[in-house]
Structure 1
Amino acid sequence: MKPLLRSFVAIALLGGLAYSCEKDDDLWDWMIPETEDTATTGQVAGYVFHPAVVAATPQNISQLKVPEGFRVAPFATNLGKPRILVTSPAGHLYFSDREAGTVTLLHDADGNGAAEVKTVVANIRQAHGLAIHNGNMYIAAVRELYRAPINPDGSLGTATLLRNDLPDAGQHPNRTLAFGPDGRMYLSIGSTCNACAEPNPLNATMVVADADGNNMQVLAKGLRNTIGFGWQPQTGELWAMDHGIDWLGDNDQKEELNLLKQGGIYGWPYIYGEGKYNPQPRPQGDTTYQQYLSLTTLPTLLYDAHAAPMQMAFYGGTSFPADFQGDAFVAMRGSWNRSQPVGYKVVRVNFENGKPTAIQDFLTGFLVNNNRSVFGRPVGVAVHPDGSLLVSDDTGGVIYRVSRQ
């Protein structure tokens, strides 16, 4: 893309010609020069389409599809708006509900594949991110980070405030966190906007801190909104799914699977995809697009634009086939900024020798009525100690369990 753009820029500078092309059924008419010495122009067709919301009835749920040899069934229903999931070694499942400001415990005491126990264990305004580490539950809200001890029955003790100075949320309030193989805390802090130069250096980053929240520093930046991330079991490498920029058309910006490393720059808001230039905003100061591109680590894999990747979980259970070991599951909540819906499913990221090779459907069928309606939008994914996969839906208020038949 970059050499092509440079060529068109040179033509425009010499002959005053415009560059236009049709790409992926979107209307493009862009000329993006390296610097502000030449005018930047662009046109792209943008759409809004929200599928109608219908109930998660038994008939609709029966239309869900999983690969042969698997089955899917509700684990718990009537849950409000469950978001992030985390499981404990004891088999307790917790989910956050950001709108309600709660963390809830679910437990399948008799092992029949459905939860009988449902208890609110924490009330924290805008609670979202959850992680378990050394017998404690960590809870991330927009600006606050809490830690609470987990009691033997799965309930939580009194939550202690660790920090209350995380950046303001803006467009992306959904903080997520996890603990790495190094025992440190990793916290994703999204951007405040669709595409802008952030005044706060902590926005649009992945940060890392000690387990008590101290010594926080930026691990990687240029990440618009990285909700789902985790460590590949074979390599210990940190992989993450980032949300693409809106209003670039039906097929841009694609969602990105990135390998995150210390000091990495991942392009947002100036560079996206395979090295494309975002026409607005431009790189600041005297920096050219080419210079910023040279600093950018490009994604390893791309996925459907606007699919909205949410939580990610690597599979380390024993009940799925052996070739699932080390693969990742990602919840795709679904699009709104395109003419035809994409996402609304859970996908499997295939890894071979520790490296991602493909993304394929795993749990589908939430779109009904010829893709005009939806009864569920997946958000959370977690692997239960029994090896099943649990999936939260914050629209129908259901947590699903995918297991072997």
Structure 2
Amino acid sequence: MKNRNQTTILMGIVLLSALTACDKDHLIGSQIPETNKEPTSASIQGNVFEPALVDATDERIAQLRVPAGFRIAKFADQLGKPRMLTVSAAGDVYVTSREAGTVTLLRDTNADGKADFKQEVAKIKAVHGLTIHDGKMYLVSVKEVYRADIKSDGSLDTPQLLINNLPDGGQHPNRTLGFGPDGLLYITVGSTCNACAEPNAENATILRANPDGSGRMIFASGLRNTIGFGWHPQTKELYGLDHGIDWLGDEQQKEELNVIKPGGFYGWPYIYGDGNYNPHPRPMGDTTYAEILAKTTLPVFSYEAHAAPMGLIFYTGSKFPAEFQNDAFATLRGSWNRTQPSGYKVVRIHFENGKPTRFEDFVTGFLVNNNQAQFGRPVGIATMPDGSLLFTDDNNGVIYRVNYGQ
């Protein structure tokens, strides 16, 4: 062990090993046959490194980097572990804390860009995702979906249970939800594991249901852990950022940006990246990797492995320059299993003619002390009615606000 924060692990993997295998760049003498009629063997190197947590001091926040013309400051702090965000048309900000099981209302009553009103408005165990639709708040925990009326003062009526039997959370309990252009409710359900054949077909999917929770169906599958998703304002296509498989080395599996279509299958746990085979688990029975690959929709873009994408929104506000219209912003919470950390920032995804073209840093600087420490892990993200951008940090309990101009 190099120090308390870093561990290097060497792993030899043979078929039926408890760990998954790795990508082409890290396999040594690998053999990945099409079926289990021949043995699979591989050797990889994996790394664990988590930057130390330091305080979000004024001096550190002043060193955060944003594009020219933008400025960033605290909107709220002392929030524990804030996760996902949604904002009402009136500018009321709602934030969840999965750890505390709370929904908190924040309000900037004097228009100085900082919250000066705070009220707990709901208590739901492990609540995570939330959204507002037709004047009602929708909330999701690990296995339940709730709906609550929003009162005139911004508080919530008692949440009504709509769904009580979502799959178990396992390794990925971070459910999120949103309403599509079709007026239907979409719910993300991560996998229970790093890579395995799930016994419940609803794990590793996006589900779709009616606004009252009825008519639930699997909309897309083979998605290991898609938390951030949204619809392009012009094309109405659904995009999601999926977390790659762990223990494939520093550079694999990269995070995926997918166009998510009804009935689509996105490869997990057998296919990853641009069509690579994952040696464990192997396809069952006589099914071959090639057969699974043939029905897999590959990502439209990939991003640094282990960056941990969390929130995704498309920008339609009027505050930022015109070239930001219909681009996306994504929060990257940051890696724990990479020699050099990835993520710990907010990125902009450029779209041209309705299609993604590149990723670009938008808010950076949370990694400090030569990448040995960090003071922010971005999670939730939302747009204010004035066009400014909010995002949460669930390590130091801060919500940041990004604005443009004076």
TM-score range, shorter chain: over 0.9
Q: CA deviation at 1:254?
A: 0.2
Contact persistence 2:224–2:268 (CA under 8 A): yes
Q: CA deviation at 1:27?
A: 5.6
Contact persistence 1:22–1:28 (CA under 8 A): no
Separation of aligned partners in 1, 2:274 and 2:46:
21
SS at match of 1:79: coil
Residue 131 of structure 1 corresponds to which residue in structure 2?
131
Q: CA deviation at 1:209?
A: 0.2
Contact persistence 2:23–2:252 (CA under 8 A): no
2:202 is the counterpart of 1:221: no
2:95 is the counterpart of 1:101: no
SS at match of 1:257: strand
2:55 is the counterpart of 1:55: yes
Residue 161 of structure 1 corresponds to which residue in structure 2?
161
Q: Which structure 2 residues correspond to residues 209-248 of structure 1 after superposition, within 5 A?
A: 209-248=209-248
Contact persistence 1:310–1:330 (CA under 8 A): yes
Residue 267 of structure 2 corresponds to which residue in structure 1?
267
Q: Which structure 2 residues correspond to residues 128-207 of structure 1 after superposition, within 5 A?
A: 128-207=128-207
Residue 12 of structure 2 corresponds to which residue in structure 1?
none
Contact persistence 1:86–1:132 (CA under 8 A): yes
4+ long deviations beyond 6 Å: none
Contact persistence 1:306–1:334 (CA under 8 A): yes
SS at match of 2:293: helix
Separation of aligned partners in 2, 1:210 and 1:22:
40
Separation of aligned partners in 2, 1:340 and 1:273:
21
Residue 342 of structure 2 corresponds to which residue in structure 1?
342
SS at match of 1:197: coil
Structure 1 counterpart of 2:174, one-letter code: N
Structure 2 counterpart of 1:231, one-letter code: W
Contact persistence 1:29–1:44 (CA under 8 A): no
Q: CA deviation at 1:284?
A: 1.5
Separation of aligned partners in 1, 2:344 and 2:284:
36
Contact persistence 1:271–1:292 (CA under 8 A): yes
For these two proteins, the number of residue pairs brought into alignment is 384
Q: Percent identity?
A: 62
**Cα deviation digits, residues 114-161 of structure 1 (max 9, x gap):** 011111100000000101001110010001111000112211111111
Q: Which structure 2 residues correspond to residues 83-94 of structure 1 after superposition, within 5 A?
A: 83-94=83-94
Separation of aligned partners in 2, 1:154 and 1:315:
24
**Cα deviation digits, residues 317-376 of structure 1 (max 9, x gap):** 000011111111010000011111000000001001111010110001000000000111
Separation of aligned partners in 1, 2:71 and 2:205:
37
Q: CA deviation at 1:22?
A: 10
Separation of aligned partners in 2, 1:168 and 1:292:
25
SS at match of 2:147: strand
SS at match of 1:42: strand
Residue 307 of structure 2 corresponds to which residue in structure 1?
307
Contact persistence 2:23–2:249 (CA under 8 A): no
Q: CA deviation at 1:23?
A: 6.2
Which is further off, 109-118 or 226-235? 109-118
Separation of aligned partners in 1, 2:140 and 2:325:
29
Q: CA deviation at 1:392?
A: 0.3
2:290 is the counterpart of 1:290: yes
Contact persistence 1:345–1:363 (CA under 8 A): yes
Which is further off, 234-243 or 104-113? 104-113
2:322 is the counterpart of 1:322: yes
Separation of aligned partners in 1, 2:131 and 2:223:
21
Contact persistence 1:102–1:127 (CA under 8 A): yes
Q: CA deviation at 1:28?
A: 3.9
**Cα deviation digits, residues 4-60 of structure 1 (max 9, x gap):** xxxxxxxxxxxxxxxxx9965x46442111112221111111000010011111111
Change (3 A) 1:36 1:52: same
Question: What's the TM-score, normalizing by structure 2?
Answer: 0.93
Q: RMSD in angstroms over aligned alpha carbons?
A: 1.2
Change (3 A) 1:56 1:28: farther
Separation of aligned partners in 2, 1:307 and 1:141:
24
Structure 2: gaps (5+ residues): 1-21
Residue 398 of structure 2 corresponds to which residue in structure 1?
398
Q: CA deviation at 1:110?
A: 1.5
Structure 1: gaps (5+ residues): 1-20
Contact persistence 2:101–2:127 (CA under 8 A): yes
Structure 1 counterpart of 2:139, one-letter code: I
Residue 368 of structure 1 corresponds to which residue in structure 2?
368
Q: CA deviation at 1:250?
A: 0.2
**Cα deviation digits, residues 173-230 of structure 1 (max 9, x gap):** 0000000011100000000000000000000000000001110000000000000000
Structure 2 counterpart of 1:220, one-letter code: A
2:37 is the counterpart of 1:32: no
Separation of aligned partners in 2, 1:319 and 1:375:
27
